[in-house]
Amino acid sequence: MKNIIIIGSSGGNLFNLGGANPKKLLDEILLQSEAAGLCLKNIQFIAADESMDTAKASTNTNIYSYKEDSIVNYFQGNLKEANQQATLLDQQLAEAIRNDAIDGIIAMSVDALGANKQTIAAAIEKKIPVVGTGGTSMATITSMGANVISSSGTTGSTNRTRAISFVSSLCKYWHIKFNPVIGSPNKKESTAQGSIWKNINIRGIMVSSLPGFIAMALILAISQIPALKGLSAVFDLMINALPVMLAVIAAKQVSDLDEVSIIAGVIAGILSTSGGIIGGIIAGIMAGVLVHFFFKKCIEWRFPITTVNIVSGGLAGLIAGLIVYYLIGPIALQAGNLIKEVIEQTVAFSPILAGIIAGLLIWPAILGGVYHAAILPIVLLEMEKTGNSFLGAVDMVGLVMVAAGINLANILSPRDRGESAVATPGFLINMGFGTFVESAYPFMFSNKIVFGGALLSAGIGGALVGLFNVRGTAYVPSFTAPFLSNNISGFIIAMVVPLICAFLITLIANKVSVKNSKQAIESKREVAAGKAE
């Protein structure tokens, strides 16, 4: 196992590219080092509260070090005091290097003539490899004779790309196999093990993009006000921006290389607008995969990290976007239109029947895990065209309002006092945010009548959606939902009726349950009294 240290500061340009959050910057390097089997022995990182380009002697500054396998705050004071304290750590690191306890150095915006003077001198004596960023500082230590095996400026880099570049260069120098970590640090998934493909999750992309669709629905509703008709142009603009939003989310989730993947997603999304949201998703996924591929290759070829980001982010987004623009876009758009057309034709054939079926199936769908995988994407496809959705309206009346009715009954007339405390927050979220239908699960699973009442109420709500030809959405405050629909009065009726229905059925079920419990208790008492006699 090779032992390494991290030295440097939050820097000038680095401050704007991760140095302002030193703990996150250092955690990323630690994560990648552990993945490579490198042992971090110590840290001397001087983090000022502003860029070193403008920092003064009085600027508040922290020094981060490494103790007992964790990053710790070694000192806090002003910059002048921090530089004085840093010399103590500098001396310790230099001694460790001269005692052959350190094999490599990661340097970021170091002060080779000040706070890092002794460490750099020791590194030059021992000829240990040095990697790092900071154009001026790295040029200085190179000219002093340090064994710099990889250096770059900080422009265009991120915490993750810098960390991977540092560790990759050291591992290549030592002939150590290194699989960069992507995704959540807790998962520690390796890109070299094919996990990049495991990051492709259509459901995750759709759920993450939901706020954008809700924002579009809000603009649509506001634009219906006579004095704000001009916002209809904003609505059209947002529809065209949906593929870009989805492409960015897809690229970020697939590659998880921070700003690099975001840039790739933006470029790919802009070129895929003609393909609708399906085209945007495809372009984003392709961009995410290509970002990973180009990033890995550029690191292997020892490109400077700035160039790595430019090539992997820009080229990946461009290639993915052009493929969708010229080849996949028209097909993706037709596929999306076909799905919407099938829904429209089904509803047109028998709106009430379609509503009843959708209402009856929506609870089994969410309980079976099908909702987010199948229904939500269809809702978003509908909203892409009109800003609201038939299934979105069924969602609100069949899930949210039914759950609210069940919770309300358990607040006013619970089977026991504990259930009221459970139901209250659920009801408030149902009504206030148009979500958290899972709050009704405990009551549905514990009573077959309540479960059956939920299905019946949802079916009635779906029928009313079909009867009034409502298009709407959930995930918004319930009192605002009608104003985001195409039929305000019809949606109000369709929401209120299933809520009342679910409330009454649950109320009756609770009273029957309480009555049966009392009778059971009385029977036990009579039996006990008979035995006593």
pLDDT at 156: 67
Domain co-membership, 242 together with 161: no
Tens-place pLDDT, residues 301-354: 777 777 888 888 899 999 999 999 999 988 887 887 787 788 778 888 899 999
- Count of structural domains, the chain: 3
Same-domain pairing of 327 and 369: no
Say yes or no: 217 and 149 in one domain. no
Domain membership of residue 46 (yes or no) is: yes
Q: State the angle between helix axes of 417-433 and 401-412 in degrees (0 to 180), rounded to the nearest 10.
A: 150
224 & 310 share domain: yes
In sequence order, which residues have a C-beta less than 8 Å from that of residue 438 and are 6 or more positions away? none
The answer to whether residue 431 sits within a structural domain is yes
C-alpha distances in Å from residue 256, one per residue of 22, 177, 195, 196: 20, 21, 12, 9
pTM above 0.85, yes or no: no
Question: Which tokens sit at 405?
Answer: 């009715």
CA dihedral (326, 331, 332, 333) positive or negative? positive
Both tokens of 459, joined, read: 């079916």
Within a domain: 205: yes
531 assigned to some structural domain: no
Same domain, 373 and 331: no
In this structure, the answer to whether residues 167 and 31 fall within a common structural domain is yes
**Residues 496 and 516 reside in one and the same domain:** yes
Band the pLDDT of 188: cuts 50, 70, 90. very low
Q: What pLDDT, in 10s, does the model give residues 72-92?
A: 999 999 999 999 999 999 999
Residues 368 and 481 in one domain: yes
- Do residues 456 and 334 both lie within one domain? no
- Of 316, 339, 362, the residue at which a domain comes to its end is 339
Task: Give the residue from 296, 276, 289, 340 showing the smallest Cα distance to 317.
Answer: 289
| 413 and 304 belong to one structural domain | no
Which CATH number belongs to the domain containing residue 142 in this structure?
A: 3.40.50.2300
CA atoms within 13 A on the CB side of 177: 4
Cα–Cα dist 411/115, whole Å: 64
List pLDDT tens digits, range 492-517: 999 999 999 999 999 999 999 888 87
228 & 136 share domain = no
- Is there a domain that residue 186 lies in? no
Instruction: Check residue 530 and give its pLDDT.
Output: 64
Structural domain boundaries enclosing 499: 350-520
Helices assigned H by DSSP within 368-487? 376-386, 390-395, 401-412, 417-433, 441-445, 448-467
| Residue 275 and residue 421 in one domain | no
Give burial (CB, 10 Å; 0-12/13-18/19+) of 39: middle
Name the residue with higher pLDDT: 181 or 113. Answer: 113
